[in-house]
Structures are given as structure tokens and as C-alpha cells.
Amino acid sequence: MLMTACDLGAVTRPWKISKQVAELVTSEFFEQGDRERSELKLTPAAIFDRNRKDELPALQLEWIDGICKPLYQALLKLNRKLQPMLDGIEANREKWQELCLSRERTHRASVSSLFPEPGQNTEPSDDAKTSESLERPEKDRPVKNNIMGSKFDCTDDRGCRANKESSDDKVVRSKASQGKK
């Protein structure tokens, strides 16, 4: 466990360092994914797929929640002096969460401009935009978007997480794309 904790230690470092290491590791993963795609004719997993690089914040949240945080929580039980490492993980997780939410807001805005509700004015006034932003705090708004076969749910206190798309979602997305043609 200690060897693994040392290997994953960048996730405990200050944000600037942690983010830089995550981006460096991701660029190596992309190179591997490029080779999988070109040489083996495979579709790489999301973390290795350069075409899905915009999903990095959500993937980092999964990585932190599923691997890093449990490891350091277990080590903390052995030695309470490791608390600053867990605190670093929490601080970095919050930054990835902010990036995930920002990405979701941007994506939601672009999707809603492409697929307005029936009967909805496609060019909302500035007052309408302001009214929408003041109506409910962002944290209270549900955020679910279909992105490359996954839903990202950022309303959960654990953060963005990718969920497999249901068959109902596929039907809705299929109908939406047919209406676009």
C-alpha cells in the first residue's frame, strides 16, 4: 500500500502540481490510445481516448473517488500524521469538481441552443438569460447530459460520474438526431 501511495502521491500535492501531473499522465495515455486505434484497430477506453479529452475532469473524479481516496483513508487509519495527504486529495477533488461543473454548464448551454424545447423562442433575450441564472442557484439545478453514450451527473455531492446510458436515453437521443436532419 505504501508503494502504491508513493506512486499516486501527485494527487496529494498542491493543485498546480497535481493538475500538471494528471495532464502529463493523460498525454501518455493518449499516445497509448492512439497506438491501440491505429495498430490494433481498437477503440480505446475513455482515459486513453484523445477524442474524449474533454471528459478528463469527470475521469479524474472517478480516479480519486475509486482509487486514491480509499487508499489514503486506509493509510490514515495506520498513521494519523498522513492527514495532510488526504486533505490535499480533497482540495484537488474540489478543483476537478469545479472543472467538471464548468464543462457541464458549457455543454448544457450549447446543447440547449441546438435543441430548443418545442414552442420555445430560439433566441432568448438577455433578460431571460439573467432570469434563468437568478431563478435557482446552479447547485440546485439537475445536470444530466448525454455525452458519447454516458450521462454525467454533477448534482451528486460526490461529483460528476459517468453512468451508462439507458435504452430510453438512446431512443430520445436518436429521435433528437433524426429531427436535426
Question: What sign results for the dihedral spanned by CA atoms 55, 60, 61, 62?
Answer: positive
Q: What does the alpha-carbon distance between residue 1 and residue 69 come to, in Å, rounded to a whole number?
A: 13
List, as one string, the DSSP characters of 6-22.
HHTGGGGS-HHHHHHHH
Q: Is 74 helix (H, G, I), strand (E, B) or coil?
A: helix
Please check whether residue 55 is in contact with residue 147, taking contact to mean a CB–CB distance below 8 angstroms.
yes
Q: Taking the C-alpha atoms of 161, 53, 139 and 116 in order, what is their torsion angle to the nearest 10 degrees?
A: -110
The reply to whether 49 sits in an annotated binding site is no
Grid coordinates given for 104: 457541464
Name, in order, each residue with C-beta under 8 angstroms of 46's C-beta and a sequence gap of 6 or more: 52, 55, 59, 162
Which residue positions form the known binding site?
A: 7
Which residue positions form the known binding site for Zn(2+)?
A: 7
